[in-house]
Amino acid sequence: MPSTPSIETIAERVRVRVSPERWAHIVRVAELARRIAEAAGAEGERAYLAGLLHDVARELPEEELLALCPPENEVEAAHPRALHGCAGRKIAAEWGVTDPEVLEAIEGHVWGVTSESPVARAVYVADVSEPGRGVNDDLRERALAGDLEGAYAEAVARKVAYLKAKGIPIHPRTLKAYAEAHA
């Protein structure tokens, strides 16, 4: 069984696959995910690794995304870019990442997660609230103050509201994550 590559190796593999702008976003997400996870009492390095990998497939051509992750429903078929989390999970696994929480965080950052994994939730919140986005500062501060559960539930609620307002179909996993976060 191959060992997991070092953080430095993973970072370089990701950096060469994405644009400079995407890389800057990835670094901000990874660093913020680490801080959020630590504020929640979780392992920051696992969140950092997942953050580094969360958008590794974001700039792949749609044909490659579809080849890596054939659509399982109408939302995925209509919006192949939404498959970048699934594709990223597969790439990470091919590179030797075996931690199930890290893999879940990579895939789940697009749709939301249904487990209570602080690593996955930290990456989700970091992705929607990293400072470069210019939105959701309150969610970032809430998570950094230790209320990851509340920040995550609100982040998913905002995503659902945004998609509804734009008339964009909502992925079944997002609806499930929303229902579980608000149960």
* pLDDT tens-digit map of 100-150: 999 999 999 999 998 899 999 999 999 999 999 999 999 999 999 999 999
Q: What is the pLDDT of residue 13?
A: 98
Q: What is the pLDDT of residue 92?
A: 98
DSSP 100-128: HHHHHHHHHHHH--SS--HHHHHHHHHHH
pLDDT, tens only, 43-73: 999 999 999 999 999 999 999 999 999 999 9
- CATH number of domain containing 95: 1.10.3210.10
Would residue 162 count as lying in a domain? Answer: yes
Would residue 75 count as lying in a domain? Answer: yes
Q: What is the pLDDT of residue 115?
A: 83
Instruction: Decide if pLDDT at 176 tops 90.
Output: yes
Would residue 63 count as lying in a domain? Answer: yes
Would residue 120 count as lying in a domain? Answer: yes
Give me the mean pLDDT over the 148-167 stretch: 97
Q: What is the pLDDT of residue 31?
A: 98
Q: What is the pLDDT of residue 114?
A: 84
- Give the count of domains, the chain: 1
Q: pLDDT over 70 for what percent of the chain?
A: 98
Would residue 153 count as lying in a domain? Answer: yes
Would residue 1 count as lying in a domain? Answer: no
Would residue 64 count as lying in a domain? Answer: yes
Instruction: Decide if pLDDT at 1 tops 50.
Output: no
- What is the residue range of 58's domain? 7-181
Between CA 65 and CA 58 the distance in angstroms is 9
Q: What is the pLDDT of residue 3?
A: 64
Would residue 2 count as lying in a domain? Answer: no
CA–CA distances in Å: residue 53 to residues 40, 74, 87: 21, 26, 11
Instruction: Decide if pLDDT at 4 tops 80.
Output: no
Residue 73: DSSP 8-state: S
- Binned at pLDDT 50, 70 and 90, residue 160 comes out as very high
Instruction: Decide if pLDDT at 89 tops 50.
Output: yes
Between CA 108 and CA 96 the distance in angstroms is 19
